[in-house]
């Protein structure tokens, strides 16, 4: 028994399915482009969170503390302040001594080591060794303005008898650039040294031979003179006996063609600035005027026994030590 119409119905259903499949396969694919109706993306909804608010806490009031009161005791400052120590007087006394076995060495003794004159008889150069009496056993200092530089000048308080008149004199040892520089802080450079020749009175004293030794080349004369730091010489002074004679040698008059070199040395070497300043005079603009009244007074005294002018007597004379000679009994 057959069922009429059943086959065509199945065929048409099959064709319909096939048609739908083909239609679906022919639809275009959209890649990377929005659709006609974009689907809204889900958004992140911020969920409110509870904020912690601290409860007010009472503040702590600090108890009053004792404020320290500054002590009136002075504290040491970072910059040392130099306070000069008074040096008690202690005058040296004489003892018998002769130069070369002939001339007596006393507070008026001197020996001219160099003297040159021009045709008219005026002095061209002059150097001398002069004897001095120590008035105390310390090294004094003062600050001088030399060629626009502060120079601490170190000197001895001594006396020399000029034509039977004793006059206090500054015997200048050396100097150092700076204001009121204590001996204790001097560096060990050339300006801190002085040259000393020491001997006992039983040895023959011949200042001309000592000066010849001084004129030797440095590597030879260093064996004949002691180069002492100023601090070492200060200790030596304190240990000297009451009977002692000190002599100092230095040029006094320079030939004019050596003046420029002398000024150059004064501007560069503090020891030369200190030692040469008593013998030269400058104007307010540091222009060299010539040799000083002090240098001329020394020259007139040593070569012609002329008295020291009253003004220089009142101010005190000055001399310098190119080297020192110390003689004890």
Average pLDDT over residues 227-242: 97
CA 81 remoteness from chain centre? 15
Do 320 and 250 meet the contact criterion of CB atoms below 8 Å apart? yes
Specify the 3-state DSSP secondary structure of 67. coil
pTM of the predicted model as reported, rounded to 2 decimal places: 0.74
What pLDDT score was predicted for residue 86? 77
Question: Is the pLDDT assigned to residue 72 strictly greater than 90?
Answer: no
Average pLDDT over residues 221-245: 96
Q: What are 137's two structure tokens?
A: 């056993």
Question: What is the per-residue pLDDT across 108-118, written as a single tens digit (0 to 9) for each?
Answer: 999 999 999 99
What pLDDT score was predicted for residue 271? 98
> In terms of C-beta density within 10 A (0-12 exposed, 13-18 middle, 19 or more buried), how is residue 300 classed?
middle
What pLDDT score was predicted for residue 101? 87
Position 85 confidence tier, pLDDT thresholds 50, 70, 90: low
CA 287/CA 283 separation, integer angstroms: 5
Question: What is the per-residue pLDDT across 178-212, written as a single tens digit (0 to 9) for each?
Answer: 999 999 999 988 899 999 999 999 999 999 999 99
Task: Kindly list the domain boundaries of the chain, sorted by start residue.
Answer: 106-328
Q: Which residues pair with 276 in a beta bridge?
A: none
Question: Is the pLDDT assigned to residue 263 strictly greater than 60?
Answer: yes
């Amino acid at each position: 028994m057959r069922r009429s119409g059943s086959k065509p119905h199945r065929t048409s259903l099959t064709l319909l399915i096939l048609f739908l499949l083909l239609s679906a396969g022919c639809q275009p694919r959209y890649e990377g482009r929005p659709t006609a109706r974009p689907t809204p993306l889900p958004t992140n909804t911020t969920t409110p969170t509870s904020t912690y608010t601290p409860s007010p806490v009472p503040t702590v009031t600090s108890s009053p503390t004792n404020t320290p009161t500054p002590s009136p005791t002075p504290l040491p400052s970072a910059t040392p302040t130099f306070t000069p120590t008074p040096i008690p007087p202690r005058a040296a006394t004489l003892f018998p001594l002769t130069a070369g076995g002939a001339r007596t060495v006393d507070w008026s003794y001197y020996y001219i080591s160099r003297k040159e004159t021009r045709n008219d008889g005026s002095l061209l150069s002059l150097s001398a060794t002069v004897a001095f009496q120590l008035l105390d056993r310390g090294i004094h200092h003062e600050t001088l303005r030399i060629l626009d530089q502060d120079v601490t000048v170190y000197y001895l308080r001594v006396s020399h008898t000029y034509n039977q008149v004793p006059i206090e004199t500054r015997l200048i040892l050396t100097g150092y650039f700076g204001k009121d520089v204590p001996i204790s802080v001097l560096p060990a450079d050339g300006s801190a040294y002085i040259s000393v020749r020491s001997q006992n009175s039983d040895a023959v004293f011949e200042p001309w031979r000592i000066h010849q030794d001084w004129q030797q080349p440095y590597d030879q004369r260093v064996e004949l003179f002691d180069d002492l730091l100023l601090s070492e010489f200060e200790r030596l002074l304190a240990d000297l006996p009451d009977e002692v004679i000190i002599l100092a040698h230095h040029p006094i008059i320079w030939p004019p063609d050596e003046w420029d070199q002398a000024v150059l040395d004064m501007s560069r070497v503090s020891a030369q600035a200190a030692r040469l300043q008593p013998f030269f005079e400058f104007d307010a603009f540091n222009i060299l005027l010539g040799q000083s009244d002090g240098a001329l007074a020394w020259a007139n005294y040593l070569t012609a026994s002329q008295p020291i002018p009253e003004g220089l007597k009142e101010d005190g004379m000055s001399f310098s030590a190119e080297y020192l000679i110390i003689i004890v009994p």
